[in-house]
């Protein structure tokens, strides 16, 4: 009984197709991570906060409202406003944010005018960062 083997060229072609597929998946994942991070939410791993915007009463632009959605106190919370097109950033640090608490961050705190295309990223000890796009926050 003869064992059928693929010719070497066909095996190599199959490996090339597999490698191309893996590269394509990597590229798509990287694009989603950069342009639409909200699609990659990981409950229990990412910082458990919600972010909303309201119009500023004093100063310019909007006020970011960061709410702790977990049942634990978040420590060393860093809220970062990011303009990807210019690589500009503004940060505001919060020592702790108790469960259900809301911290408001506006022009006075970080001198930032949130515009279309900007993002807000929130980090806290023990969690991966979570990002919110201007579209998610209703800025058009």
Question: Do both 55 and 31 map to the same domain?
Answer: no
Take residue 85 and report the two structure tokens written for it: 């097109």
Question: Do both 49 and 29 map to the same domain?
Answer: no
Q: Is residue 61 part of a domain?
A: yes
Q: Give me the tens of pLDDT residue by residue for the chain, a chain 140 residues long.
A: 556 665 666 667 778 888 888 888 888 877 776 666 555 555 568 899 999 999 888 878 899 999 999 999 999 999 999 999 999 999 999 999 999 999 999 988 888 888 999 999 999 998 999 999 998 998 87
Question: Do both 26 and 47 map to the same domain?
Answer: no
Structural domains counted in the chain: 2
Report the run of H or E that residue 27 belongs to, with start and end: helix 8-35
Question: Do both 75 and 97 map to the same domain?
Answer: yes
- C-beta separation of 53 from 119 below 8 A: no
**Domain extent at residue 101:** 43-133
Q: Report the predicted TM-score, pTM, of the whole model to 2 decimal places.
A: 0.69
């Amino acid at each position: 009984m003869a064992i059928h083997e693929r010719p070497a060229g066909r095996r190599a072609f199959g490996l090339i197709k597999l490698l191309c597929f893996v590269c394509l998946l990597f590229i798509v994942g990287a694009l989603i991570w950069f342009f639409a991070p909200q699609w990659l939410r990981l409950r229990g791993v990412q910082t458990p906060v919600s972010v909303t915007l309201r119009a500023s009463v004093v100063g310019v632009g909007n006020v970011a409202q960061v709410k702790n959605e977990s049942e634990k106190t978040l420590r060393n919370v860093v809220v970062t406003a990011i303009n990807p097109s210019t690589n500009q950033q503004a940060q505001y640090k919060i020592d702790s944010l108790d469960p259900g608490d809301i911290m408001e961050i506006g022009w006075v705190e970080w001198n930032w005018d949130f515009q279309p295309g900007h993002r807000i990223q929130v980090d806290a000890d023990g969690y991966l960062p979570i990002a919110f796009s201007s579209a998610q926050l209703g800025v058009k």
